[in-house]
Amino acid sequence: MTTNEYIDQAEESLLHTYNRYPIVFDHADGVYLYDIEGKKYLDFVSGIGVFVLGYNVKEYNDALKAQIDKIIHTSNYYYSVPLANAAGKLTKFAHMDRVFCTNSGAEAIEGAIKAAIKYAYNKDKTHDHEIIAMDHSFHGRTCGALAVTGKQAYREAFEPLICEVKFADYNDLESVKALINKKTCAIIMETLQGEGGIYPATKEFIEGVGRLCKENDILLILDEIQCGMGRCGANYAWHMYDVHPDIMTTAKAVGGGVPVGAFLVTEKVAKNSLVAGDHGSTYGGNPLVCTAIDKVLDLFESEHIIDNVNKVGAYLYEKLDEICAGYDCIKEHRGMGCMQGLEFDRPVADIINKALDKGLILINAGTNILRFLPPLVISTKDVDDMISILKQALDETVA
Ligand SMILES: *Cc1c(COP(=O)(O)O)cnc(C)c1O
């Protein structure tokens, strides 16, 4: 069958919630993806920040295959060896005390919100609580996650969602301060906003929010679903600031490709919020996905992933700065490590399509921002290859 035939076949049955690019992928290796016609693409999206170790890593694949032959699923009424291993490694890696495994990022946010609300309920036994979230934030598409997502267009048709949520301006501490009252139970934010346009938290802001939370016994929830797992140059991006969340979320890269996420809490939250019966998941943390977490964390260490992010991320920064300087239509270059963005004065859709034609996978963040989320194993040579295709794409679209 041809590409168009597969697309037609899929579109006959799929609910139309995505405008997909007209590519049918077949397989992948390293930092390259291949479509069914054999065309090769350099990947600077990694499945939206998921395939951090690159594709087709033998040690990872072998571990998953071996686990499939042992046991894939048990439910959470029992323990498994991969669950025990992954829980210990992930809490240590994240500098948190306890973990609950979910199947996605949005579910990790749901759990984080429930933990925060239960903590507040235990404290005052009322149901009258508020959450402060940030404008331009993105936390996922389920109802709870959507309630704290700072994009009205995503929320509008589905309101009312959960408890009262107020939106502050990211990187504006005064705007957060102005929303705090005695009902405020949690402040939720991304350490570096991804979907909303690649905005890193300033040191003053995130550390200031951390202090406000401590002073007012408000729980700080940091969403590290996109910016965590080494992407910004530390295990989790918040490790680079003088702040410690009470609750944090992780997903995307944490399983290196299988659907898994988690929310992690400090002992203080663990002792005063969710108890047996309050929360659960049939699949959450099953042996297959925990094997993946375990292997990803092993490979982070043995492959010195964070060192590579710091080295190649700095090189990418330099090269994108040059691009930014060379084109008038690029307004700003932002980001950290292997999570960077170029903001244009116009939509970037044409640039992405042109790059795809030329075998480079890029993605947007909002309409005007070109987002770079490569696998964390990229080399400076891969950056050079990307830049060369990007320049051609820019010259043929916006120059
Ligand atoms: C992707 C993302 C989510 C949602 O994760 P899903 O696995 O798609 O549910 C939440 N928060 C952030 C910051 C994300 O980037």
> 271 pLDDT band (50/70/90 cuts)?
very high
Q: Is 104 close to ligand 1, i.e. is its CB under 6 Å away?
A: yes
> 203 pLDDT band (50/70/90 cuts)?
very high
Give pLDDT, residue 29.
97
Give pLDDT, residue 388.
98
Identical topology for domains 3-53+304-397 and 59-302: no
Q: Is 86 close to ligand 1, i.e. is its CB under 6 Å away?
A: no
Ligand 1, atom 15, lies closest to the CA of: 226
> For residue 301, what are the β-bridge partners?
none
Q: Is the pLDDT of residue 399 over 90?
A: no
> 121 pLDDT band (50/70/90 cuts)?
very high
CA 166 to ligand 1 centroid distance, Å: 20
Q: Is the pLDDT of residue 157 over 90?
A: no
| Mean pLDDT, rounded, for 271-290 | 96
Q: Is 199 close to ligand 1, i.e. is its CB under 6 Å away?
A: no
Q: Is 140 close to ligand 1, i.e. is its CB under 6 Å away?
A: yes
Q: Is the pLDDT of residue 25 over 90?
A: yes
Give pLDDT, residue 142.
93
CATH number of 59-302: 3.40.640.10
In whole angstroms, give the CA distance from residue 329 to residue 344.
6
- The CATH class of the 3-53+304-397 domain is alpha beta
Give pLDDT, residue 267.
98
Q: Is 105 close to ligand 1, i.e. is its CB under 6 Å away?
A: yes
Q: Is 139 close to ligand 1, i.e. is its CB under 6 Å away?
A: yes
Q: What is the pLDDT of residues 166-179, one digit of tens each?
A: 999 999 999 999 99
Q: Is 149 close to ligand 1, i.e. is its CB under 6 Å away?
A: no
Ligand 1 atom nearest to CA at 251: 7
Instruction: Look up tokens 């940091």; give the residue.
Output: 222
More confident residue, 160 or 73: 73
Q: Is the pLDDT of residue 156 over 90?
A: no
* Residue 377: alpha-carbon gap to chain centroid: 17
Ligand 1, atom 11, lies closest to the CA of: 139
Q: Is 150 close to ligand 1, i.e. is its CB under 6 Å away?
A: no
**Which two three-digit tokens encode residue 198?**
């690649």
Give pLDDT, residue 161.
83
Q: Is the pLDDT of residue 229 over 90?
A: yes
Give pLDDT, residue 368.
97
Instruction: Look up tokens 């992930």; give the residue.
Output: 90
Among 394, 283, 387, smallest CA distance to 328 is for 394
The CA-based angle 10-13-18, given to 5 degrees, is 65
Ligand 1 atom nearest to CA at 227: 13
Give pLDDT, residue 200.
97
Give pLDDT, residue 160.
81
CA 134 to ligand 1 centroid distance, Å: 15
* Domain extent listing, the chain: 3-53+304-397, 59-302
Ligand 1 atom nearest to CA at 193: 13
Ligand 1, atom 5, lies closest to the CA of: 105
CA 32 to ligand 1 centroid distance, Å: 23
Ligand 1 atom nearest to CA at 252: 7
Give pLDDT, residue 243.
98
CA 307 to ligand 1 centroid distance, Å: 25
Q: What is the pLDDT of residues 338-364, one digit of tens each?
A: 999 999 999 999 999 999 999 999 999
- Rounded to the nearest integer, the mean pLDDT of the chain is 97
Give pLDDT, residue 162.
85
Q: Is the pLDDT of residue 190 over 90?
A: yes
Ligand 1, atom 10, lies closest to the CA of: 139
Q: Is the pLDDT of residue 52 over 90?
A: yes
In whole angstroms, give the CA distance from residue 260 to residue 33.
22
Q: Is the pLDDT of residue 48 over 90?
A: yes
Alpha-helical segments (H) within the chain: 3-13, 46-49, 58-70, 81-94, 105-124, 143-147, 152-155, 173-177, 203-216, 267-272, 287-302, 305-326, 349-357, 380-397
CA 397 to ligand 1 centroid distance, Å: 31
